[in-house]
Structures are given as C-alpha cells and as structure tokens.
Amino acid sequence: MTDTREIFAAIPRSHFDTPGKSRGLIDVIRWRYLLNLLVRTGVTTRYRNSVLGWTWSYVRPAAQFLVFWVVLGLFMNLDRGIPNYAVYLFSGIVVINLFTEGFKNATTSIVGNAPLVRKVFLPRQLFAVSAVVVAFVHFLPQVGLLLIVCLLLGWITHVTIVSVLAILAGMLIVMTFSLGLGLFFGAINVRFRDAENIVELMLLLATWASPVLYSWTQVQDAVVETLGWPQWLVEIYLLNPITQGVELFHYAFWRPATEGMTSASGYAGAQLMDLPPGLAWNTLWTFLIAAATLLLGQMVFRRLEGRFAQDL
C-alpha cells in the first residue's frame, strides 16, 4: 500500500491553497456553478406559497408608479415641463428598483446566510453577487412592461443603436455600483448591524437624490438661479452613478417614446428638455466611479471576511 504522506511530500507546498483564503471576486467565476444555484434559489423562493407569484414583480412597481404619478404629477404639478411624464417617471423607477433591491439584499446577504458562512468555506462574495443578479432578474419584467408601453407610443421608430447602448450602460453602472456598496456595507453589517439602518436611510434618499420624480433642469434652476450656488454643484450631482443610470434610461426610453407619440399625434408643441451636459463623458466617469466603489467594497470585504464566522 502506498503511503499517502510520501505522495504529498513530493508536491511543493506552494501548490496548496491556504485554508480559508479567498481570491475575491475571481473565485465567484471559479465557483459559478454555486452562483447559479444561489441565483436559482433566490429567484424561485421569493414568491413561494404566493397566490400571485411572479405577478408581484409587476404589481409592486405599478403601485409605486401610480402613487408617485397621482401625488406628484397631478396634485403637486411636478410634471411641469416634462411631456409624457408617465413614461419619464416609470423609466426612472425601474432603475431605482434595480439599485434598491441589489444594494439592500447584498448588504444583508452574509448575515442572511450565516449557517453556511459558519460551517462551510466558500467565497463569501458569492452571496452579494447572487443578490445583485437576483435583483436583475426581478428587474427584467419591469423593463419588459416599460418596453411594451414605449412600443405602443412609437418608440421603435425613433430608437437608435446609441439608445440600446445607453440601456446596457445604465444597467452596468447601477449593478456595479450596488454591488460595490453591498460588499462594503455587507462586510460591516456582520459586526455592526447599524449598517442595515444606514442603508435604509440611503435607500430612502436614493429616489429623491436622482431625477426620477423631477427633471435635472429643475435642479439646475434651483441651485444656480434660485440659490445662486456655483454650477459645479450641479455637475457633481450629475456624476452620481444612480443619476446617470436614470438619465441613460430617460435617453433610451422616454425620449424616443415621446418623439414617437408627438409625431404620431401630429402635435409638435411638446418641447423635450435638453440632455444633461456631457452625457457621454459622464457615462464614462460614472462607470469609473462605480468601478472604484466596487474595488473599495472588495478591499473592505476581504479585510473583514476572516472574522465573519466568529462574528456571526
């Protein structure tokens, strides 16, 4: 019988991985079969034992849209200067929902999977990544509903390749940003559960800190003309990755749909507001900001993950 000690003695120690050592997000790719399992579980269990099932993916954003549209659009007249306000509003809501669900679920992903973290070694980033992917899956029916409405308004006749690229860029920026923040706060949340409350406050402000319910021109008028503050504050506001994601969806869905609606009705009086200055360059800068957030979140996560099992 061969002595196994002799076999292992012949293998250099450098060929063995240190127990419990993670390679970060690279391991997520290596363990993609487990990522697929986590995503499938997250998608199938969300509406388990629910009468409406996947219909809730449409009911929730629809109810959210109706509340904002009635209260802000009809009662408070925030739709002034924004033709086709319903599509404008819903285009921003779907982006906020993607960010909110991805960020929130990634933050609680480690604590929510505490039994696995305590007993089995696996790349802990898998939980945050799977949470963002699940959010993306739930985001798709909302985009499908938005697309159907835009098609009925003549969107297809005015859409361009750039519009399609804007959709992809917006999703990439928002998902990268939510994953970076989710890794950062998810790691801190293991030891300090106050992180969940901080995230709740951030999500409460996210909808109002981006041009979802209003236009970016209203921000510029209020900051520059009313308050007399410098223009660079508006430029910083536009460099928010969530703001950029919302504006890219406005550019991709709302503008072509509004142009199609006005041309089909023969009414050319609806004046589309100007695009944010430097929309293309801001797309690049906000992607770099989102990528930097992801790197920072990954660094903090890897620094703290060694004590996850003990803290849980």
Considering just the CA atoms, what is the radius of gyration of the chain in Å? Answer: 23
Q: How far apart are CA 122 and CA 282, in angstroms?
A: 37
In a domain, 11, yes or no: no
In a domain, 234, yes or no: yes
Write the burial class of residue 220 (CB in 10 Å: 0-12 exposed, 13-18 middle, 19+ buried).
buried
pLDDT at 118: 81
pTM of the model: 0.86
Assigned token pair, 197: 């409350």
pLDDT at 186: 93
Write the burial class of residue 180 (CB in 10 Å: 0-12 exposed, 13-18 middle, 19+ buried).
buried
Q: How far apart are CA 185 and CA 92, in angstroms?
A: 24
Q: Going by C-beta distance under 8 Å and a sequence separation of 6 or more, which residues neighbour residue 279? A: 247, 248, 251
In a domain, 171, yes or no: yes
pLDDT at 306: 81
In a domain, 5, yes or no: no
In a domain, 14, yes or no: no
Assigned token pair, 129: 């990544």
pLDDT at 269: 47
pLDDT at 28: 80
H/E element, 213: none
pLDDT at 96: 94
In a domain, 4, yes or no: no
In a domain, 240, yes or no: yes
Return per-residue pLDDT of the chain as tens, 312 residues.
455 555 555 556 555 455 455 666 777 888 888 888 888 888 877 766 665 666 666 677 777 777 777 776 667 676 677 888 888 988 999 999 999 999 999 999 988 888 888 877 778 889 999 999 999 998 998 898 889 888 988 888 888 999 999 999 999 999 999 999 999 999 999 988 888 999 999 998 888 889 988 889 889 999 998 888 999 999 999 999 999 999 999 999 999 988 876 665 554 545 677 788 889 999 999 999 999 999 999 999 989 888 887 776
Number of domains making up the chain: 1
Please give the residue range of the domain that contains residue 196. 22-311
Assigned token pair, 127: 């939980």
Angle, helices 56-68 vs 85-107, to 10°: value is: 120
In a domain, 266, yes or no: yes
